[in-house]
Structure 1
Amino acid sequence: MTEQVAESAPVMESAPKKSRTDGYVHYDDIKRENAVLEDYYRRQEIIPDEEWPQFLAVLGQNLPITFRLTGHRDEAASINRQLHDVLLPTLGTAARSLPWYPEGYAFHLDTDRKSMRTQEGYSAFHKWLVAATENGDISRQEAVSMVPPLLMDIKAEHLVLDMCAAPGSKTAQLVEYMHADAQKMDVEATGLVIANDSDQQRAYLLYHQVKRILSPGLLVANNDGTSFPTLVAAANGNFERVYFDRILADVPCSGDGTLRKNANLWKTWTPHLALGLHPLQIRLLDKAVRLLKVGGRLVYSTCSMNPVENEAVLAYILHQYSHALHLVDVSSDLAGLERRPGKSGWKVLTKDGAEYEKAEDVPQDQRKRFPPSLFPKPEYSQLNLDRCLRIYPHLQNTGAFFVAVIAKTADIDTVAAEPSANSAPRPVKKGKRKFGVPKTESEFRILDPSNDPVLDNIFDWFGIDKERLIQNGYGFLVRSERDPIKVVSLVSPCAMPIFKATVSSHRVEGEQELYNGSLKIVNAGVRAFEVYESNRPVPVDCPYRLLSESVAILRPYMNKRVVKVEKEVILQLIDCQDSVKIEIEGLDQGGAVLEATNTEGNMVCIPVWISERGIKAFVPNPNRPALRLQLA
């Protein structure tokens, strides 16, 4: 979810309390009640009367911790066993698997973030949680937030768009499921997930969040979602429109489903939060269905309980394109997940509690704030809105969430009138550089793996099967306009046709919309090779070393500079920041890969540099604790 109003307020869980007289209330002392909110949702009849006390009671409690394993990795099964056999038993009955998550690879802890940092019994587990997160073995994520990607049915070859992707937890899931399907089918993951966010700073932070998944099939972009460009792919001299197999539209929302972790929202919530976002949500969904391939699947989701942001948005778009779109029945999916059906009717209320029954009742001076798209219509009863998922906090001790799955069965007439909802989002402004955003970014340049001296040097040194790489469609990029090239990145086969069209700045004749130059790429793929930098001359034929981000991907293509060692050797290397004097028979100086088998039978590989001073492991410091656990 991006740009949520509910997330704009600072959370100061560990800040010392201060004595102030200006009306300031410490976060822990915020009263978790809001009479306007209670009246609003009672009138919307989202919760049965007999469940209302329990619903309110749970909504006022802190959100428990939940996390999930990175299921496609070889070590996932061993980490799962370690959790069940060693780690979770130390917490007693306070931990359990989520019953609806595949293979039981997601977990619920009966404690919140603040309590975990302060309670003695959680100290060791908290350290493990931090290390495993840094290494990409797990992701800490709210339980209901895991639901939308699970309903997308991602395949290994799919082109996927995460339209409003920051902070990136769902993006990580999409990438994981692409690789999981590849493992299941015993093929390579050739697809691509484009993770987009309209805010430049959030887009850069998004990349740093999801890059730990280590996939060449990831591209992070910084575009306004309502005007996301229709892409072109270049192949065999031809240029064609690209449509997405899957789209996740987890749109900006008022965020009242996050009240359990955003206590400040209890003070600020009004019905007008949703009214202000409704037009933007319609424009985002309209753009998404236009970008979706016929036969594709789109998931629309919010962390809001408000029908104005959910069923009203869906109904407006589904009714407009009724010949091409329909809601998918997913009632039998995710067995064990308690949910309620979507609503076919709702009330349009002002902040003062007044109700407008139909669009014609709205005073002329209020019609921008209350557009016709807000109001239910009799014909909406034919849209099967009950197929939507409404998830409430009291059902399974979670946050609240709304999810709908849309299938596209026919082309949408692209010359049809755009939605009439008001308040279109403003374009991203170019202003002062924000923290975390580089001053400049060079354009990507494609290296030709069949005829490039840098790649030829690298391939020859590591014995990389160039022909098989080319046949499988992998691409190599650099972000440097000068020589020598310092870093080479690896991208998936699905990404290359898009990059070729982008780099060639091609514009399909008569179709100015199809111009990839308007796709603002933050980063793509994984770093594969980097020049070894040393204060001393490097007396080797190849100055490049393999990077840890891509070693697992490229290892199957290598037949040189790979040595099997005992796991104790790797443990010794990662326990030291400098070179270690270890003799490795048959390897002279330069980049290499060491691999060892752990007790679970899984192969663990690390890139190293061999010099006259010894062997140095190139494993990022945050990843070393988890690597030790894998080898232990």
Structure 2
Amino acid sequence: MGGDRKKGRFQKKRDRGSKRKANAADDGWGAAKKEVVMENHKFETYYKAQKILSDDEFVRLMESLRTLLPISFRITGSRSHALELRDLMINEYFPTMEDFEVDGVKVEVPKPLPWYPQNLGWVSTLSRQALRKSPQLARFHRFLVAETEVGNISRQEVVSMIPVELMDVKPHHVVLDMCASPGSKTAQILEALHADESDAIPEGLVIANDADQERCYMLVKQAKRLQSPCLMVTNHDGQQFPSIYYSGKDSERQHALRFDRILADVPCTGDGTFRKNLNIWNTWAQGNGNGLHRLQLPILLRGAALLKIGGRIVYSTCSFNPVENEAVVAAAIRMTQGALRVVDVSAELPALIRKPGLSTWVVQHKDGPFFKSFDEANTRFGEMRHGLTESMFPAADVAEMNLDRCLRVYPHDQNTGGFFVAVLEKVKPFGALDRTDGLAREEVETIEKAEAERLEKEMGLEQGAKRPAFRNKTAPIEEAAAETPDDSSDHKRKRSEEDESKPDAESAGDVEDGSEPLPKKAKEDNPDDANAVERVFKPRREGLVWVGGESPYRFLLKDDPELVQMRRFFDLGPGFPEENFVVRSENDSWKTIYFVSTPVKKIVSASNSFRLKIVNTGIRIFTRNSANDPSTPTYGCPFRLANDGLSTIGPFVGDRSVIHASMKDVITLLSVEYPKFQEFDEHMADAFKQRDMGSCVVKFDPAAQAGYDGRVRTAILLPIWRAQVSVSLLINKNERKSLMHRLTGNDLEIRTGMVDEPKKDDVDTSAAPSEAGAPEEAEWVIVDAEAA
């Protein structure tokens, strides 16, 4: 969950852990320097009443909550690439750490999570003190930092990895992440979607949605590292995610977008994160959970309506509270009239220690009495129930709902945070979408309205009543304001506080790359520019303005003159979906051309796509060389290949535009700015000379290198700008550092090309991507907060 990074050496004794300084400037454990008392009588009273654990085990839980959380991370990216990086880490860095001591204390080598597939999830207890005193550990630290900066390693709490692993995502699935920010789980979903590496463009897609627009930009920045054309980021309240229909605006029949897999990782109180969010010790109150229940249930119900029959929706929180967990699941099963069932996943992730869900619980009225049933509370308080609803209580048939199949993960079992997961399958129709396929638009609208009114009434939200719908999903629910502490700022956190990735807030809007900010509102087309109208296919908007604050998406026709020129210049094969190029400018001089998968194009082109607040979709494929005159005859193409989209378009680039490199030549490209042709081997130098000026691709294939030691096993594609007498590698410094580490194990030292610096007309320096907005160096240590 997306909280600040927490650092601290594990406490040995409880009496040492009752107080700890929280220094936001260094260790991120609080908003200011102050003493945090790790005691909350209300919390202990509440959960003892819930009987979530035996008395002895509850003591162990509280002791665990007073210790600090170890660092955990995932190795990300395509499967072969991730396995390669895992093996490099184990074989290159771990041997020097074994049986190693710092000040007489043995250093623990990072350990793989026993339940995470293929040892791609890891946990570490390294301290900053050890890294400072040990050159061996400092080298490992540089490796972690380099790979984190380019997205090959992702900081993510252990329990945050569980929900996606239980979704069972396949490459052909259409997936919705309803509450997606900050994006660690979205990245996991995308990795599963791209699991079949033989298919550069999967059949499926992922819509990552979040209620907060600023966090959507952070989400784009996080997910962008995976460079997938199958991702769309939207900005809606999860419970109000719109229905999208595939049909022309004049069509009589509607076919709704429905999802194979949905993740509802909902806003919650976050009391499973005590070990890293110390302020919760001071701010926890049971009223927060009661209030959030009235937001969580509509989100899950909306997810159920959007789910295909036979599809799977995973509901999760980082809370221990049954009112936020089992009560929400049970109410959804009842309100969908049995359309949802809890899936038995006991055989999945067998090494993960989990406890069954609860079938009995109580609901507390403010800080007063506990009630076992809604009738009991209603009899006692009537309309003064302070927000207690029937859906919060166990139903009479709760024993038939198989809530024991839910997963409860407790910190003391495997040294993690606290978490709740329920895997639900849709087994029969529920909601308007399941009854509207093939109907006329007017009939669809009538059914949708009636269904919405029915659910609102059943949830106690009579028409005109106040609803728990807020723009910032991290804020406490409005109706619970009277039950929430006045100092609610500590509760303004993303529900998934376990996600460690936290893009720099100041660069949150810089989601494309360092050189190009997110596009602003579009300029109107010049009505006299008939050529622009002919060149671009615009998705239908029914005469309405685009709902979101971003530019509309416009697809280029496959016979667009510039696309024809690029197709010829890069010798693109016939299998590439050439009708999926899109621009985000309504004038005729677009700077960037993006690419989206066919399923994404289908959604953007849907008859009512104007209802979607699309923040971002597509990957950069081509970027205009704006510093050069596109009409100059020495340049065969006014656009260059963008590194973001090279993994997608690379398999389709013809041999004429691909230059094969030796290991020595790749090192030259990485370590020399603007190397001259003569600095390469004769074969590569000749290849550059024969190539037209402009963009091309360099390929390094380890399998073709005689005597190569195998540090890197997968082929590498690099975007190159070929100038008059020199070349330029079009990747940023962080990516260069990472690649140098993987290829040689050495740090990167960059020098200028031989003889003298290139002249202005010798190299297209504007083509090199800016490093502005590059992520700051990640902190990869647990720090003693009192020593900071």
Q: What's the TM-score, normalizing by structure 1?
A: 0.89
Give the Cα separation in 2 of the matches to 1:292 and 1:3: 30
Shift of residue 71, structure 1, vs aligned partner: 5.2
Give the Cα separation in 1 of the matches to 2:32 and 2:719: 52
Give the Cα separation in 2 of the matches to 1:198 and 1:551: 31
User: Against the structure 1 CA distance between its residues 234 and 624, is the aligned structure 2 distance closer, same or farther, given a 3 Å change threshold?
Assistant: farther
Alignment of 1:468 onto 2:567 = no
1:389 aligned partner: 407
Shift of residue 136, structure 1, vs aligned partner: 2.1
Aligned pairs (5 A) from 1:511-590: 515-534=608-627, 538=632, 539-559=634-654, 560-578=656-674, 580-582=676-678, 583-585=685-687, 586-590=690-694
2:308 aligned partner: 293
- Larger mean CA deviation between 597-606 and 386-395 belongs to 597-606
Amino acid at match of 2:384: Q
Question: Is the CA contact (8 Å cut-off) linking 1:40 and 1:353 kept in structure 2?
Answer: no
1:61 aligned partner: 67
1:375 to 387, 390, 393: 393
| Cα distance per residue 1:276-332 (max 9 Å; x no partner) | 111000110111100111111100000111001000001001012233110100000
2:566 aligned partner: 458
User: Against the structure 1 CA distance between its residues 218 and 47, is the aligned structure 2 distance closer, same or farther, given a 3 Å change threshold?
Assistant: same
Aligned pairs (5 A) from 1:480-491: 480-491=585-596
Give the Cα separation in 1 of the matches to 2:215 and 2:31: 29
2:754 aligned partner: none
Amino acid at match of 2:669: L
2:551 to 438, 442, 447: 442
Give the Cα separation in 1 of the matches to 2:686 and 2:243: 52
User: Against the structure 1 CA distance between its residues 400 and 254, is the aligned structure 2 distance closer, same or farther, given a 3 Å change threshold?
Assistant: same
| Cα distance per residue 1:534-554 (max 9 Å; x no partner) | 367752121111111111221
Give the Cα separation in 2 of the matches to 1:127 and 1:311: 43
Amino acid at match of 1:454: E
Aligned pairs (5 A) from 1:83-102: 83-92=89-98, 93-102=108-117
Give the Cα separation in 1 of the matches to 2:734 and 2:290: 43
- Larger mean CA deviation between 216-225 and 565-574 belongs to 565-574
Give the Cα separation in 1 of the matches to 2:31 and 2:259: 48
Give the Cα separation in 1 of the matches to 2:95 and 2:387: 54
Give the Cα separation in 2 of the matches to 1:536 and 1:568: 34
Question: Is the CA contact (8 Å cut-off) linking 2:366 and 2:386 kept in structure 1?
Answer: no
Question: Is the CA contact (8 Å cut-off) linking 2:365 and 2:388 kept in structure 1?
Answer: no
Alignment of 1:355 onto 2:370 = yes
2:246 aligned partner: 233
Shift of residue 187, structure 1, vs aligned partner: 7.6
Structure 1 counterpart SS, 2:691? coil
1:498 aligned partner: 603
Give the Cα separation in 2 of the matches to 1:187 and 1:457: 23
1:617 to 711, 729, 742: 729
Structure 1 counterpart SS, 2:291? helix
2:538 aligned partner: none
Give the Cα separation in 1 of the matches to 2:728 and 2:650: 19
1:512 aligned partner: none
Question: Is the CA contact (8 Å cut-off) linking 2:557 and 2:579 kept in structure 1?
Answer: no
Shift of residue 2, structure 1, vs aligned partner: 7.8
- Unaligned regions of 5+ residues in structure 2, if any? 7-20, 99-107, 433-449, 473-504, 510-517, 522-549, 679-684, 703-709, 745-788
Shift of residue 203, structure 1, vs aligned partner: 0.5
Question: Is the CA contact (8 Å cut-off) linking 1:276 and 1:369 kept in structure 2?
Answer: yes
2:180 aligned partner: 165
Give the Cα separation in 1 of the matches to 2:27 and 2:290: 36
Give the Cα separation in 2 of the matches to 1:118 and 1:425: 49
1:631 aligned partner: 743
1:272 aligned partner: 287
Shift of residue 594, structure 1, vs aligned partner: 0.5
| Cα distance per residue 1:209-237 (max 9 Å; x no partner) | 11001111111111111110111235998
Give the Cα separation in 2 of the matches to 1:611 and 1:210: 32
1:283 aligned partner: 298
Structure 1 counterpart SS, 2:170? coil
User: Against the structure 1 CA distance between its residues 33 and 576, is the aligned structure 2 distance closer, same or farther, given a 3 Å change threshold?
Assistant: farther
Shift of residue 204, structure 1, vs aligned partner: 0.8
Give the Cα separation in 1 of the matches to 2:604 and 2:37: 52
Structure 2 counterpart SS, 1:317? helix
Amino acid at match of 2:659: V
1:420 aligned partner: 459
User: Against the structure 1 CA distance between its residues 169 and 604, is the aligned structure 2 distance closer, same or farther, given a 3 Å change threshold?
Assistant: same
Give the Cα separation in 1 of the matches to 2:724 and 2:63: 66
Shift of residue 393, structure 1, vs aligned partner: 0.4
2:142 aligned partner: 127
User: Against the structure 1 CA distance between its residues 115 and 327, is the aligned structure 2 distance closer, same or farther, given a 3 Å change threshold?
Assistant: farther
- Larger mean CA deviation between 264-273 and 491-500 belongs to 491-500
Give the Cα separation in 1 of the matches to 2:240 and 2:426: 20
2:748 aligned partner: none
Give the Cα separation in 2 of the matches to 1:65 and 1:326: 35
Alignment of 1:43 onto 2:82 = no
Q: What's the TM-score, normalizing by structure 2?
A: 0.72
User: Against the structure 1 CA distance between its residues 239 and 579, is the aligned structure 2 distance closer, same or farther, given a 3 Å change threshold?
Assistant: farther
User: Against the structure 1 CA distance between its residues 65 and 193, is the aligned structure 2 distance closer, same or farther, given a 3 Å change threshold?
Assistant: same
Give the Cα separation in 1 of the matches to 2:2 and 2:323: 18
CA RMSD of aligned residues (A): 2.8
Amino acid at match of 2:89: L
User: Against the structure 1 CA distance between its residues 116 and 367, is the aligned structure 2 distance closer, same or farther, given a 3 Å change threshold?
Assistant: farther
Amino acid at match of 1:202: R
1:26 aligned partner: 33
Give the Cα separation in 1 of the matches to 2:63 and 2:130: 22
User: Against the structure 1 CA distance between its residues 129 and 445, is the aligned structure 2 distance closer, same or farther, given a 3 Å change threshold?
Assistant: same
Shift of residue 77, structure 1, vs aligned partner: 2.1
Shift of residue 162, structure 1, vs aligned partner: 0.3
Shift of residue 630, structure 1, vs aligned partner: 3.1
User: Against the structure 1 CA distance between its residues 527 and 152, is the aligned structure 2 distance closer, same or farther, given a 3 Å change threshold?
Assistant: same
Question: Is the CA contact (8 Å cut-off) linking 1:580 and 1:616 kept in structure 2?
Answer: no
Give the Cα separation in 1 of the matches to 2:3 and 2:737: 34
1:302 aligned partner: 317
User: Against the structure 1 CA distance between its residues 82 and 176, is the aligned structure 2 distance closer, same or farther, given a 3 Å change threshold?
Assistant: same
2:11 aligned partner: none
1:509 aligned partner: none
Alignment of 1:324 onto 2:339 = yes
Structure 1 counterpart SS, 2:328? helix
Amino acid at match of 1:458: M
Percent identity of equivalent pairs: 38
Question: Is the CA contact (8 Å cut-off) linking 1:134 and 1:212 kept in structure 2?
Answer: no
Structure 2 counterpart SS, 1:523? strand
Question: Is the CA contact (8 Å cut-off) linking 2:43 and 2:284 kept in structure 1?
Answer: yes
Shift of residue 198, structure 1, vs aligned partner: 0.6
User: Against the structure 1 CA distance between its residues 524 and 71, is the aligned structure 2 distance closer, same or farther, given a 3 Å change threshold?
Assistant: closer
